[in-house]
Structure 1
Amino acid sequence: MRKKKDTKTGWVAKSDVKDQCLKYDGSEIAVVASGTYLLGGQKIKVTFLGDQKYKIRLERTKEYFTGSAYKHIPGFSLTKDDCGDRQIWEFKRVKNRLLIQNKKNQLYLVPCGKILQMGSYKKAMRYSWQLTRVDKNVDPYYNFCQYDGRWGGKKYGSSTTMAEAACGVLVVVNALYALNGQFMDPMDGAAYACDTGYRVPYSGTDEGFLTAVAKGLGTQYGFYYAGKANTTVAILKCLEDGGVVAAHVPGHYVAIVDYDKKTKKYLVLDSHPLAKRATSPFGTWVKKERLEAGGLNAYSNFMYKQKKDTKFMWNLDSQELSVMQGLALDLDLEGQVWNTAERNENGKVE
C-alpha cells in the first residue's frame, strides 16, 4: 500500500521499507563504508559485516588481510584461506585519526617501511591511515539527519542543540560520506566549529566553516576544498569529476552529491527536510531548476574532492601534519610474510 496523499505518514510498499526505510532507522554506521579503495597504490576491497567488523581483501591477488592468532606473537599476512577472526578488522576514529585494529589479537595495523606489521595502540596513534575511494559512496546513498537520536539532543556549543542548529556540520558529514565513504562523527565536526569560532550562538554555523574544516581536517579524512561552484553548470562538472558540493541555500545547508544522466536530476541530501524545500530524509532527486530558485536555491556552493592517493599514511607526531618520512609511493603488499612487531627492551610490543 502507498502512503496517504499529501502526508508524511501512512502505509508504504514493502520494497520501500527494504530499499529505503531500513537504511535510516538508526542502524549502525560504518566508519568506513563498504567499497573499493586505494591504499598505497593498491586496490583493496573493504566489506562491512556489521558490529564494526570488516574484512579487507587485496583485489589483485584476492587475498585477505590476516592478523596473528596471539597478541604476544604479533604478525600480519595475506592469505586466501579462511582464518576466522584473524581476518576480522575494525576501523576506528580516535582524535580524528583512522586506525585499523585486528579483532583477534587486538593489535593495530602499522607501517614498517613498505611492509605492514602489527603494533600497539600507542604506536598506532602516531599515524592515521589514508584511504582513497575508487567510486563515490552513493550506491546506496545515505542521508544523516540533524535529529538523529545519536546526536540530535546534544548541545551544539553553549546554546541550542544539534537538531536545532547543526545543518552546517551535517552538510559536511553527508558530503564527505558520499564523496569517499568516510564517516565524520557530527560531534567531532561540531567541536571543530566551536573551537575555530564558526559556531554562531543561537543561530547556526558560519559558512566559513565549510572551507576551514577542509583545511583543518581534510588530511585526516582524505578530502580538500576545491573552490566555489557559482552555477549549476559548475556544480554538474564537479559531480561528474567525482566531487561533491556543500550548498548554502536560504537559511540552511544541503549536500549535492550525485547526478543521474538519464533523468537529468541532482541528488540532494538534506539533514533537516522541510516542506518549503520539498526534501526527504531519504535523499531527494531534483531538476536543476530546483537548484536555481526557491528553498533549494544554491547561491553559495563549496566543492569538495578527494585527496590523491600519493601517500598511504600520515605521521602525526609533529605539531604540523607532515608526510611520513621514508615511505615510498606504493605499498609493497606482494609476498607479505609474518612480520614481527617492534619490541622494546622489556619484550613488549611497541
Structure 2
Amino acid sequence: MKKHSILFLLLIICGCFLIPSKSFAFQHGYESHSDFIYALARNELPVYISDYSEDLKTMLPKYSGVKVVGSSGSWYEIQYTSKKGTSNYGWITKEEFQSNCLIYDGREKRPFANGTYHLSFYQNKNSSAFSTDSYHAYTDTLTYTFKYVGNNCYTIKKANEDKYLKSDTLQESNPYINELWGTEKEAGTFRITRKGNYYIICDVNTKRILSENDSNLLEFTNNQNALWRLTRNKKAIEKGNLQVFVQFDPLWGKHHYGNETTQDTETNNFCTSGCGIFATVNAIYSLSGHFPDPYELAKYASDKRYRIEDCGTDSGFFKAAAEKFGYKYGFSYDGCGESFKELKQKLKAGDTAIVYLPGHYGTIVDYNAKKDKYLLMDPHYLPKRGTSSFGDWVSQKDLEEGALTTQMFFYYKAN
C-alpha cells in the first residue's frame, strides 16, 4: 500500500499524467489521499499481458474504468472490469494512459459528508407515500457529529461531547436502564441510507433501527418508518469533505442523458453533456453535505425539457432543481448575477455558486480572502481550462479571460 501512496504523490508532484502540459495549471484544492489513481478510458485502450511483453491481452472499451495499482518503468499496472463483470489486471504504457485517460477522485461516494448535523425524528403517517406532508416531526432538533467509516456507515457522537452512540444491545430499549452512550472505543457503527426525503439509521450488528419513544428518548426498534432528517448550519466544504464529482466517472459516465426514443449512449451521455448536472451535484454537496442522486436530477431535467439535446443543460434548470429537490437535499435557490463583488458576498454568507463558463458549467464553493482566490470545481477538466478533478484555486483574473471567462453565477443557499 505504501508504495502506491508514494506513486500517487510522485505523479501529482511530477505531473506525469498531464493531458497535455497545460492541464492542471492551478493549485489543487485538495488531495484525494488514495492509494491508487482512478481514471476513465476516453478512447479504446490496449491492455498488455505484462510490462515486458507486447502480447495484447484485451482492448479496453471506451468509457471503461481504470485503476492504476502499480508502476514499472514506462508501464502502469491497472485493474479493470471485464465484459463479464470480473476484476482483471493488465499493463498499459504510461504514454497510452496519459493520452487516453481522464483522472478523477475515485473515493467512495458517501450519502452525506462528515460533520455536525441537526437531527430531527420523523414518523411516517402513511408508509406508502414519501412526500413532505406524509411525516410528522416529533422532537426538538438534536445535534450530532457523524464520521464516515465506509460502506454507507458512520459513527455518531454528541456534538461538543466525547460521547458516542453505542451499538444496539437487542434488549428492550430504555435509556434509564441501558446507557446508549459510551467512549470512542465503544462507538457503534450505523448504516445510513436514504428513504425519500429522509434517512434510516440502522445498527449494523442487530439490523434494528434508531428511533424515539413516546418520551422523545432514543431507542432501537424494528420500525422501518422511523426516519430522520439531517440539516447543517455550516457549509460542508470542510477540508476532509472536499471532493469533485465528475461527469466522466465510470460509475455513470456512459449513462444516457436525454429523452430521445433512440438512446445514443456514445454521444448523449453524462460524460459528453452532463456538466450542468454535476455542477449542481457539486454545489449541493459542498453546501448542505447531502449527495444528490445525479440520475434523479438528469431525469427531471429531461422530463421538464431543460435538457438541450446534443448540447447540455439549460440554465433554467438550476432554479427548477432547487424548487423540486430543495427540501430533500437541504438547499434553495438564491438568485443569479454577474458581479464578482456579489459572488464574494454570497460565498462569505455561506452560498455556493454554479458558474457558466464558455460552453461549460462549473461550481465555485469557497473564497479565500487572504489569497484572493476562488475554489473552482470543474466536473470535466480540459487542457485549455488548466483545471483538474481535485478542485482548483483560481483568481478573478483567471475567471475573466480565456476558457474560464465567467458569464453568470447561479447561487444556492442552505435551507
TM over 0.5: yes
- Residue 8 of structure 1 is matched in structure 2 by 19
Q: Shift of residue 112 of structure 1?
A: 4.8
Change (3 A) 1:38 1:94: closer
Q: Shift of residue 227 of structure 1?
A: 1.2
- Residue 189 of structure 2 is matched in structure 1 by 88
Q: How many percent identity over aligned positions?
A: 30
- Residue 220 of structure 2 is matched in structure 1 by 118
Q: Shift of residue 293 of structure 1?
A: 3.1
Do the aligned partners of 1:136 and 1:178 also contact (CA within 8 Å) in 2? yes
Q: Which entry has the higher C-alpha Rg, 1 or 2?
A: 2
Quick one: distance in 1 between partners of 2:213 and 2:301? Answer: 35
- Residue 136 of structure 1 is matched in structure 2 by 236
Q: Shift of residue 60 of structure 1?
A: 4.1
Quick one: distance in 1 between partners of 2:33 and 2:184? Answer: 34
Matched, 1:195 2:195: no
- Residue 205 of structure 1 is matched in structure 2 by 313
Matched, 1:220 2:328: yes
1:150 pairs with one of 244, 247, 251: 251
Do the aligned partners of 2:236 and 2:287 also contact (CA within 8 Å) in 1? yes
Q: Shift of residue 120 of structure 1?
A: 4.3
Change (3 A) 1:302 1:98: farther
Matched, 1:28 2:108: yes
- Residue 255 of structure 1 is matched in structure 2 by 363
Quick one: distance in 2 between partners of 1:215 and 1:296? Answer: 28
- Residue 146 of structure 2 is matched in structure 1 by 46
1:168 pairs with one of 270, 276, 282: 276
Do the aligned partners of 1:146 and 1:152 also contact (CA within 8 Å) in 2? yes
Q: Deviations over 1:104-141 (max 9, x none)?
A: 222333455644443446414xx551321534324142
Quick one: distance in 2 between partners of 1:194 and 1:65? Answer: 42
- Residue 104 of structure 1 is matched in structure 2 by 205
Change (3 A) 1:204 1:121: farther
Change (3 A) 1:101 1:94: same
Quick one: distance in 2 between partners of 1:241 and 1:175? Answer: 15
Q: Deviations over 1:3-44 (max 9, x none)?
A: 35894379x9xxx9x934629442211211112223354431
AA aligned to 1:89 is: F
Matched, 1:244 2:324: no
AA aligned to 1:78 is: L
In structure 1, the gaps of 5 or more residues are 308-350
Matched, 1:19 2:31: yes
Change (3 A) 1:200 1:73: farther
CA-based RMSD of the aligned residues comes to 2.9
Quick one: distance in 1 between partners of 2:16 and 2:153? Answer: 41
Do the aligned partners of 1:21 and 1:282 also contact (CA within 8 Å) in 2? no
Q: Secondary structure, in 3 states, of the residue corresponding to 1:227?
A: strand
Q: Shift of residue 252 of structure 1?
A: 1.1
Q: Deviations over 1:155-196 (max 9, x none)?
A: 113441111111111011111111122111222221222233
Quick one: distance in 2 between partners of 1:42 and 1:236? Answer: 32
Quick one: distance in 2 between partners of 1:59 and 1:44? Answer: 5
Do the aligned partners of 1:269 and 1:283 also contact (CA within 8 Å) in 2? yes
Do the aligned partners of 1:130 and 1:221 also contact (CA within 8 Å) in 2? no
Q: Shift of residue 209 of structure 1?
A: 1.0
Shifted more, 220-229 versus 20-29: the winner is: 20-29
1:183 pairs with one of 284, 291, 311: 291
Q: Shift of residue 197 of structure 1?
A: 2.7
Q: Which of the pair is proportionally richer in strand?
A: 2
Do the aligned partners of 2:113 and 2:290 also contact (CA within 8 Å) in 1? yes
Quick one: distance in 2 between partners of 1:264 and 1:291? Answer: 12
Change (3 A) 1:99 1:200: farther
What number of residue pairs does the alignment pair up?
A: 298
- Residue 100 of structure 2 is matched in structure 1 by none
Q: Secondary structure, in 3 states, of the residue corresponding to 1:47?
A: strand
Matched, 1:79 2:181: yes
Do the aligned partners of 1:108 and 1:121 also contact (CA within 8 Å) in 2? yes
Change (3 A) 1:4 1:166: closer
Quick one: distance in 2 between partners of 1:103 and 1:169? Answer: 33
Do the aligned partners of 1:136 and 1:242 also contact (CA within 8 Å) in 2? no
In structure 2, the gaps of 5 or more residues are 1-9, 36-103, 121-140
Do the aligned partners of 1:239 and 1:257 also contact (CA within 8 Å) in 2? yes
Change (3 A) 1:201 1:44: same
AA aligned to 1:214 is: A
- Residue 310 of structure 1 is matched in structure 2 by none
Quick one: distance in 2 between partners of 1:9 and 1:251? Answer: 20
